[in-house]
Structure 1
Amino acid sequence: MLKSLLVASASLLMVGAALAADLPRPEPVQETAAPIGKAPIGKAPVGKAPEPIYTKG
């Protein structure tokens, strides 16, 4: 009787811990502001491609 009570309580505690681990937690908000006046790296304005690099050879 005591063993079955111990096993039942341990299994309930393990299930409770597993359920608590799956609960969503709020993520911290990053307060970094975007740089003003600079284009994103690797993106050209629409309709304008960057100049190709010409090599002599």
Structure 2
Amino acid sequence: MIKSLLVVSASIFMLGAAVAADMPQAQPVKAEAAPVGKAPVGKSPVGKAPEPIYTKG
């Protein structure tokens, strides 16, 4: 009887810990504003390479 009570209570505890680990956490908000006019890094269209930069001289 005591063993089964111990197993059931441990199972409920582990289930509660697993549910608590899956709950969403609040993320901090970025303090800096996003740059205007620049594409995000890694967000270029698939199959399109960025245009080369030509320097004068």
Give the TM-score range, shorter chain.
0.5 to 0.7
Q: What SS class does the counterpart of residue 32 from structure 2 fall into?
A: coil
Structure 2 distance, partners of 1:17, 1:29, is 27
Displacement of 1:25: 1.0
1:1-57 to 2 correspondences below 5 Å: 1-35=1-35, 39-40=37-38, 53=54
Q: Which amino acid aligns with 1:19?
A: V
The two structures, once aligned, show a CA RMSD in angstroms of: 2.5
After superposition, the Cα gap between the structure-2 partners of 1:40 and 1:10, relative to the gap in structure 1 and judged at 3 Å, is same
Q: How does the TM-score come out when normalised to structure 1?
A: 0.60
Q: Out of 27-36 and 2-11, give the one that drifted further.
A: 27-36
**Number of residue pairs matched by the alignment:** 43
Which of structures 1 and 2 has the bigger CA Rg? 1
Structure 2 residue runs without a partner (length 5+): 40-50
Displacement of 1:35: 4.7
Q: What SS class does the counterpart of residue 17 from structure 1 fall into?
A: helix
CA offset digits 1:3-57 (Å, max 9, x no partner): 0000000000000000000111111001112457xx416xxxxxxxx6885xxxx
